């Protein structure tokens, strides 16, 4: 699964010529159902290492009408999943638990509305600092590029300082426009510096203030589901589908929804740049899969293929030790 959330990754050429994905149906190590079943056994995400939620459990929650109700009722439904929530989502969940004591009859949306102003102010402060750092580069950019950058920054500041903008600020759209402005800059160092600063703009998955501001616009049941959605286990295409990656377990790894969405179609080497602990987390997942293999719950061939594909597509940054598989 390669969905569209802000990832902040640069495109790089995928070196796929070294890897052959040609196979016969009988060579596929695990069916989709068999791979999905592994998520019942507390599998950690290949990228971030967080424990993942089985997608069927999430699907059942979609039909739970208690999520539409008062915060106290929703909290009782979500509490069993608190330990696998990602850090920001867990902080927001604890905020809800604290507020529900004082406001037992309010839903999640109403509770966020009580917090919106203070969190919006905190978010604007963070954004303003970053925008000022980007604007500084107008002094050293070519005149045309500097004018384009100035125009973008004026429009952006108009949005974030307007209490009720026509359209809310979008980090993803801003970075996309910024890339188009600086794409022809010959000085690669300056271009890289500008993009690195822009990527520091808070995302709802990075900062509580960004989560509050973004989710205040959503329905209460959607807010509740957003607390656990990042933890849902997914099939990550190791070789992106848009680059002819196969749609079966020879090309699948188990990743949480957040890491999968964040990667987009970028190479694994770029994903590692954004997540420097990914090689260690991939090894932790491999150890878990090996343990399941010894219990007859995961085929050895899947783990052996995972090692080969990860090593090739990561330019040998990820080299799984699976020696215990045959021990």
pLDDT digits (tens, 9 = 90+) for 30-72: 999 999 999 999 999 999 999 999 999 999 999 888 898 999 9
User: How many percent of the chain have pLDDT more than 90?
Assistant: 80
- Residue 128: the pLDDT is 96
DSSP assignments along 194-247, one per residue:
HHHHHTTS--TTT-HHHHHHHHTTS-HHHHHHHTTGGGBEEEEESS-GGGT--S
pLDDT digits (tens, 9 = 90+) for 72-90: 999 999 999 999 999 999 9
CA-nearest of 263, 232, 233, 226 to 11 is: 263
pLDDT digits (tens, 9 = 90+) for 253-309: 999 999 999 887 888 988 998 889 999 999 999 999 999 999 999 999 999 999 999
- 14 pLDDT more than 50: no
259 vs 46: CA distance, rounded Å? 9
Strand partners, 4: none
125 vs 132: CA distance, rounded Å? 11
In 197-215, which positions are buried (b, 16+ CB within 10 angstroms) versus exposed (e)?
A: bbbebbbbbbbbbbbbbbb
- 3-state helix, strand, coil split of the chain in percent (to 5) is 60, 5, 35
């Amino acid at each position: 699964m390669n969905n569209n959330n802000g990832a902040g990754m640069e495109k790089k050429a995928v070196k796929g010529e070294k890897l052959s994905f040609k196979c016969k149906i009988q060579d596929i190590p695990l069916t989709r159902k068999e791979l999905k079943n592994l998520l019942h056994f507390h599998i950690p995400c290949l990228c971030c290492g967080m424990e993942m939620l089985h997608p069927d459990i999430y699907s059942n929650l979609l039909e739970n009408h208690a999520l539409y109700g008062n915060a106290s009722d929703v909290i009782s439904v979500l509490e069993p999943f608190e330990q696998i929530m990602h850090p920001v989502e867990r902080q927001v969940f604890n905020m809800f638990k604290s507020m529900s004591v004082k406001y037992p009859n309010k839903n999640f949306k109403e509770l966020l509305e009580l917090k919106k102003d203070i969190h919006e102010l905190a978010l604007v402060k963070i954004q303003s600092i970053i925008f000022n750092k980007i604007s500084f580069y107008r002094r050293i950019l070519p005149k045309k590029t500097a004018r384009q950058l100035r125009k973008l920054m004026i429009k952006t500041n108009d949005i974030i300082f307007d209490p009720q903008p026509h359209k809310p600020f979008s980090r993803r759209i801003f970075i996309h426009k910024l890339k188009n402005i600086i794409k022809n800059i010959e000085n690669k160092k300056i271009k890289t510096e500008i993009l690195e600063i822009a990527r520091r703009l808070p995302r709802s998955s990075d900062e509580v203030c960004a989560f509050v501001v973004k989710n205040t616009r959503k329905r209460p049941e959607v807010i509740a589901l957003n607390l656990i959605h990042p933890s849902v286990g997914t099939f990550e295409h190791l070789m992106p589908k848009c680059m002819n990656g196969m749609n079966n377990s020879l090309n699948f790894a188990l990743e949480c929804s957040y890491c999968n969405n964040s990667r987009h179609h970028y190479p694994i080497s770029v994903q590692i740049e954004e997540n420097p602990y990914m090689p260690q987390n991939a090894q932790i997942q491999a150890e878990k899969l090996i343990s399941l293999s010894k219990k007859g719950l995961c085929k050895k061939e899947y783990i052996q293929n995972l090692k080969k594909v990860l090593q090739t597509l990561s330019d040998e940054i990820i080299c799984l030790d699976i020696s215990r598989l045959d021990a």
